[in-house]
A and B are shown apart, each in its own frame.
Chain A
């Protein structure tokens, strides 16, 4: 994870389009390399719940992008029942799971979970609006990011 760049996940480890599910992993940075962890909190660094929510949204978002073949962008529009169940500390590895539970017209509803050593540390239901890419450059940057996350971009892109 690189908080300052909003890179909340390091790698996609599983993608199941027919099952509408995805898994990713992210390693929480050490406090000395993150000004966010230095501020949250001084002397007691904890991964902010808001960033756990963002991590779940990014994971489910990549699933939506994979499902639409890199043709449109999901933007987080709301979250329900977000729960942060235990403290997540610097240096810990979190596995995120995303599911799409409904694909509407121009919107989608997903569910996210984060686990540490198999135990759920966070979960939420997230609603996305699906919009056209604002520019070709945006789409291309997203494809490049997908490749770095080890998504099979060339196979997925329409």
Chain B
């Protein structure tokens, strides 16, 4: 996981959801630990999309979770989310 990516994501979450920055850790689960709901996550997704110039594939992720092909940990634990962002950035540059 890129520390720089995590730091930017954590800053976005702290600012968007008014959560103390120190409470946001790489192992934090956005939904289960930080209690971010789906509406607040839209604001976070918008800020992430803008900051990194990507499009988080939220519909695909939701479908995978609903189909049992992935768990929410896979996308919403912040070090995993940061990995996903790094992959999307790499794919954009490829």
Contacts and interface: CB of A to CB of B under 8 A. Distances in A.
User: How large, as a class, is the contact surface on chain A?
Assistant: 10 to 19
B46 A127 contact: yes
Interface string B37-74: 00100110110011000011111101000000000000
A104 B39 contact: no
Interface in A94-150: 102-107, 109, 127, 129
A102 B55 CA distance: 10
A42 interface: no
Contacts of B55: 103-105
Contacts of B43: 78, 127
A106 B62 contact: yes
- B interface majority secondary structure: helix
A109 B58 CA distance: 15
A129 B62 CA distance: 14
Contacts of B62: 106
A107 B46 contact: yes
A116 to B, nearest CB: 30
**Which of A78, A102, A104, A129 has the largest count of B CB atoms less than 10 A from its CB?**
A104
A60 B50 CA distance: 20
B87 to A, nearest CB: 15
Contacts of A103: 55
A148 to B, nearest CB: 31
A157 interface: no
A106 B58 contact: yes
Interface of A: 77-78, 102-107, 109, 127, 129
Interface of B: 39, 42-43, 45-46, 49-50, 55-60, 62
19 contacts: A77-B39, A77-B42, A78-B42, A104-B56, A104-B58, A105-B45, A105-B56, A105-B57, A105-B58, A106-B58, A106-B59, A106-B62, A107-B45, A107-B46, A107-B58, A109-B46, A127-B42, A127-B46, A129-B42
